[in-house]
Structure 1
Amino acid sequence: MSRSVLVTGGNRGIGLAIARAFAQAGDKVAVTYRSGEPPEELTALGVLAVRCDITDSEQVEQAYKEIEDAHGAVEVLVANAGITKDTLLMRMSEDDFTSVVDTNLTGTFRVVKRANRGMLRAKKGRVVLISSVVGLLGSAGQANYAASKAALVGFARSLARELGSRNITFNVVAPGFVDTDMTKVLTDEQRAAIVANVPLARYAQPEEIAAAVSFLASDDAAYITGAVIPVDGGLGMGH
């Protein structure tokens, strides 16, 4: 049965792979993007691309109206949009900290709250939040990013308790280092140093993150809520 699926930040990297997986499975997929132009691949897959900055509540509301007009109320939400502004604490400005939290955490709050309007009416829904191994493990120079990603766990688990009786599940996927444009800018030495700490000795492919998300949104995962699923090659085990 074709569902209305929304993937925030779905125009590249992990988000694009997630959108692709749902579209290829026959779902009606929409993605939000903040800047640039979405890849032609999305158009070819029949994916609706909506420009939206999730730090702006009015833009979030307008994006949902456009998606609902085209696909109906969102039944599966994947909150993937996020930013980084890495620097050591003593060099981190207040804007470096608050802008990351406002996008990664408060932006997720905005899109989840708006999606739940339709999910509560339907008495069903699937929400998957994309966190990070860094949120559990920590990373020097990423206090803002790690804090925002760790907070998603408490957010999801609180909502799992709050809305479980309405048949709405909330789960978190925590990727490790993924082979995307963001990590391709690293030097060979930096990449080698990262892989040296990963038990599986390689980066993840975006499709491997998408597979975990697809599972959590499937009927097979109907009795899973409040879970944190690491897809990190073992990097964060024990956290």
Structure 2
Amino acid sequence: MDKEIKYAFVTGASGEIGQAICLSLARAGWNLYIHYHQNKQAIESLLPQLLAENVDVILIQADFDDLASVVAMEKQVFQIDAFVHAAGNSHYALFQDMTDKEITKLWNVHMLVPMQLIRIFTPKLMKSNQGRIVFISSIWGEVGAAMEVAYSTVKGAQIAFCRALSQELGPSGITVNAIAPGVVQTKMMDSFSSEEQVVLREEIPFKRFAKPAEIADTVEFITSIKASYITGEVLRINGGWLM
């Protein structure tokens, strides 16, 4: 394995935050495995921008709600120096109205499949001189939210997982951290009315939502050599909304 060549595996690369993360890492010299599920059009638009940075890009299509996809992904990954879990789905509803299928999907996408992948990739990460694991969690993983009880639960589980795993992998020099954004200006916000968005902005000291690039820049830093002594942390990117 060439220690000078870095490969990052980014899940959820077709989402707005995932795309921004891929671009930021490519500009920092990371070669990429980019995972997506259905939004191939977004990947086809992203790919030329990544290749323009003179990095290798390997596409991996998989449904994280299909556990058999883990085996297929394992066979496509050789060297890996960073694992960034940006894949996710939300579900806005009363907890009592949620189905088992909806709850299971949240668990599979946010926790079960990334845990399985990290378990598989850990021996490869141990061979790296810059091993990094990063989860894009959420402010709701720390404080919880009504109407998003199951989502808050899996996001909180991500934080607990990162803190525990950071202790276990510390002796191997692998850092494990979570990033907890507040409200990010993505298409996910389209489900909120303009009036609701105004109310949210007023609650945030910066009076605006985060940009996907601001989350991506934090990922780029935490995966860099400059962050080699930061592990087990939750980096809050929320404009002062939660202190």
TM-score by length of 1: 0.91
What residue in structure 2 maps to residue 45 of structure 1?
Answer: 50
Distance 1:124 1:201 in 2: 36
What's the Cα RMSD here?
A: 1.6
What residue in structure 1 maps to residue 225 of structure 2?
Answer: 219
Q: Which runs of 5+ in 1 are unaligned?
A: none
Q: Which residue of 129, 140, 146 maps to 1:140?
A: 146
Q: Relative to 1, partners in 2 of residues 1:121 and 1:2: Cα closer, same or farther, differing over 3 Å?
A: closer
Distance 1:130 1:44 in 2: 22
Letter matched to residue 14 of structure 1: I
Q: Are the aligned partners of 2:23 and 2:49 in contact in 1 as well (CA < 8 Å)?
A: no
What residue in structure 2 maps to residue 5 of structure 1?
Answer: 8
Distance 2:213 2:50 in 1: 16
Q: Are the aligned partners of 2:130 and 2:225 in contact in 1 as well (CA < 8 Å)?
A: no
Distance 2:208 2:44 in 1: 27
Is 1:107 the equivalent of 2:113? Answer: yes
What residue in structure 1 maps to residue 54 of structure 2?
Answer: none
TM-score by length of 2: 0.90
What residue in structure 2 maps to residue 26 of structure 1?
Answer: 29
Cα offset, 1:138, TM superposition: 1.3
Runs of 4+ aligned residues of structure 1 deviating over 4 Å after TM superposition are none
Q: Which runs of 5+ in 2 are unaligned?
A: 52-56
Cα offset, 1:197, TM superposition: 1.3
What residue in structure 2 maps to residue 54 of structure 1?
Answer: 64
Distance 1:111 1:234 in 2: 33
Distance 1:29 1:150 in 2: 27
Secondary structure of the corresponding residue to residue 236 of structure 2: strand
Paired residues, what number? Answer: 233
Cα offset, 1:123, TM superposition: 6.5
CA displacement, residues 61-98 of structure 1 (integer Å, 9 cap, x when unaligned): 32232232xxxx11011011111122112212222222
Letter matched to residue 86 of structure 2: N
Moved more, 42-51 or 168-177: 42-51
Distance 1:206 1:194 in 2: 17
Q: Are the aligned partners of 1:178 and 1:203 in contact in 2 as well (CA < 8 Å)?
A: yes
Distance 1:44 1:217 in 2: 21
Identity %: 30
Distance 1:48 1:181 in 2: 26
Q: Are the aligned partners of 1:123 and 1:166 in contact in 2 as well (CA < 8 Å)?
A: no
Moved more, 78-87 or 46-55: 46-55
